[in-house]
Chains A and B, each alone.
Chain A
Amino acid sequence: MADLFTGAALFILTVTALGLFKVLRSEIAVERMMAVQLLGTGGAAAVLLLGAATSSPAMTDVALLLMLLAAVSCAAFTSGQSSHTADASEQAEDEA
């Protein structure tokens, strides 16, 4: 059972990481962030599976953190994007 869990974790990670590498080369910034999002979810799934494989319950907490922070960094990313597009006209920095 443990080996199967590890195998599933490996599979998920491989798939999502391959997707990430493919997309990192793309020019569209949004797609890269989507791939990171996918990796975050895949990572959480892998952590859960590994936790089940090694029967260490604390791993669930790692997955919790991963999911929570993945959402936050995605939000930070889009806020940077939108401020970029919206501010293009008024980019004057508040000079000292």
Chain B
Amino acid sequence: MSLASLGTATLFGLCGAALAGIGLFIVIAHAGLLRRIVGFNILGAGIFLVFGAAARRGAAAGFSGDPVPQAMVITGIVVAFSATALAVALLQRLFDLTGRESLDAPAASDKQQAEP
């Protein structure tokens, strides 16, 4: 099968699949939390491209794409941004408190987990 026969929508859909894989890899395999947050964003971008492929394929009724998944992607991008902001704020707070930016450093878990 030649690449040219794929069409823009499918091509970007496949790109989305690959991006999701790469993003997932960053999230799983990187210890640095900031990098993981970037990984989440790439994973999100891949997912949105899958939606985008569905949208482009659904061009009909005079529209160049199905508006419903497009709207979902817009909602998703905004939600992903707020997730990033919350994660970054938590990370900065953790850094301020402990001076580290990963979760698997010498744990303060057992020594004196004080009471609420």
Contacts and interface: CB of A to CB of B under 8 A. Distances in A.
A96 B96 CA distance: 8
A3 interface: no
Majority secondary structure, B binding face: helix
B97 interface: yes
Contacts of B97: 95-96
Nearest to B95: A93
Interface string A53-96: 00000000000000000000000000000000000000001111
Contacts of B95: 93
A94 B92 CA distance: 12
Contacts of A95: 96-97
Nearest to B97: A96
Nearest to A93: B96
Contacts of B96: 93-96
Interface of B: 95-97
7 contacts: A93-B95, A93-B96, A94-B96, A95-B96, A95-B97, A96-B96, A96-B97
